């Protein structure tokens, strides 16, 4: 039984009509949530990377940051082979590689380009994604030497292990209050039932304690889809035009969050890494775009 069917069954058993359940789940998106909990280790934040021979530690190129050639800190590692694959491929509406490590290097920056990007090169500038499919040809790598290392050391955070669970991400649901019911009125007679069930199926726990793959984009102040639609728009297009709104819906269909996580040591800062579905299916990780957001 998949997550949607499990949710529907539990809701109907508690008196919610089939039509109301379907309306509530209409915009739900399956996602992987990596965070604290039981089960096998499926990833971690921090630590040192594992890189194949001949593959250098990713560095800034001078356009990314005010310090040229600074190595990118390793933020997140996903152990693809350790994901709970049984039934996962059928449940997720996107494709991930099945083997190796997916390592996300993220360079935090206060540069405005790291928030609202204005072009593909700038959007790519603050993240590097390295997929290592064969660990037999790779080894752990120490931080390389670089200029200004004493003044601006690359942070190597303590490794914190993560476990993976499959969840449904319901847009607009507040886990603290649960007063907004997508597709249904706030005073729905079964709002308490839907809230309780949603807390079971949503990505659980504080977002800053884990990593989300897929689902909906986080957006405290602005949406990634708005930024991408603006980048893809022709010059002079009105942001409130019908064409822009249609483009945003196209972005919503064609793009997804490869990973979203809270940036370590940077309070109120979220990393949001976006990729086209077709690029993810082809493992074209050099096309990931970064959209950093300050939440305060």
- Start-end of H helices in 16-153: 18-25, 88-91, 120-124
CA distances from 39 to 62, 159, 165, 245 (A): 41, 17, 9, 42
pLDDT at 117: 45
Mean pLDDT of the chain: 83
pLDDT at 118: 42
Q: In the structure, what pLDDT confidence band is assigned to residue 121 with cuts at 50, 70 and 90?
A: very low
pLDDT at 201: 76
Closest CA to 98 of 84, 115, 77, 108: 84
pLDDT at 274: 93
Q: Decide: 101 and 78 in contact? Cβ < 8 Å.
A: yes
Strands (E), the chain: 29-35, 41-45, 50-52, 74-79, 101-106, 127-132, 138-140, 160-169, 211-214, 255-262, 269-276, 289-290, 293-294
Percentages of the chain per state (helix, strand, coil), in multiples of 5: 25, 25, 50
Closest CA to 113 of 288, 295, 291: 291
Whole-model pTM: value is: 0.86
Domains of the chain as residue ranges with CATH: 3-294 (2.30.320)
> Rounded mean pLDDT of 247-263?
91
């Amino acid at each position: 039984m998949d997550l949607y069917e499990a949710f529907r069954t539990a809701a109907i058993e508690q008196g919610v009509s089939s039509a109301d359940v379907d309306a509530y789940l209409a915009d739900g998106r399956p996602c992987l949530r990596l965070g604290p909990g039981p089960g096998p280790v499926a990833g971690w934040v921090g630590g040192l990377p594992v890189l194949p021979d001949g593959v250098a530690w990713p560095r800034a190129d001078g356009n990314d940051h005010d310090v040229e050639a600074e190595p990118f800190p390793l933020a997140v590692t996903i152990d693809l082979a350790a994901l709970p694959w049984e039934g996962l491929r059928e449940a997720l509406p996107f494709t991930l590689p099945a083997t190796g490590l997916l390592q996300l290097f993220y360079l935090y920056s206060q540069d405005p380009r790291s928030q609202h990007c204005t072009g593909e090169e700038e959007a790519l500038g603050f993240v590097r994604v390295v997929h290592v499919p064969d660990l037999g040809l790779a080894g752990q790598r120490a931080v390389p030497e670089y200029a200004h290392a004493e003044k601006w050391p690359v942070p190597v955070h303590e490794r914190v292990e993560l476990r993976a669970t499959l969840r449904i991400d319901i847009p607009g649901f507040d886990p603290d209050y649960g007063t907004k019911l997508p597709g249904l009125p706030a005073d729905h007679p079964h709002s308490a039932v839907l809230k309780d069930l949603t807390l079971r199926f949503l990505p659980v726990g504080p977002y800053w304690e884990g990593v989300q793959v897929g689902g909906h984009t986080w957006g405290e102040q602005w949406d990634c889809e708005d930024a991408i639609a603006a980048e893809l728009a022709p010059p002079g297009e009105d942001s409130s035009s019908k064409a822009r709104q249609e483009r945003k819906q196209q972005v919503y269909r064609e793009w997804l969050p490869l990973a979203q996580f809270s940036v370590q040591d940077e309070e109120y800062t979220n990393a949001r890494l976006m990729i086209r579905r077709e690029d993810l299916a082809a493992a074209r990780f050099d096309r990931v775009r970064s959209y950093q957001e300050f939440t305060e």
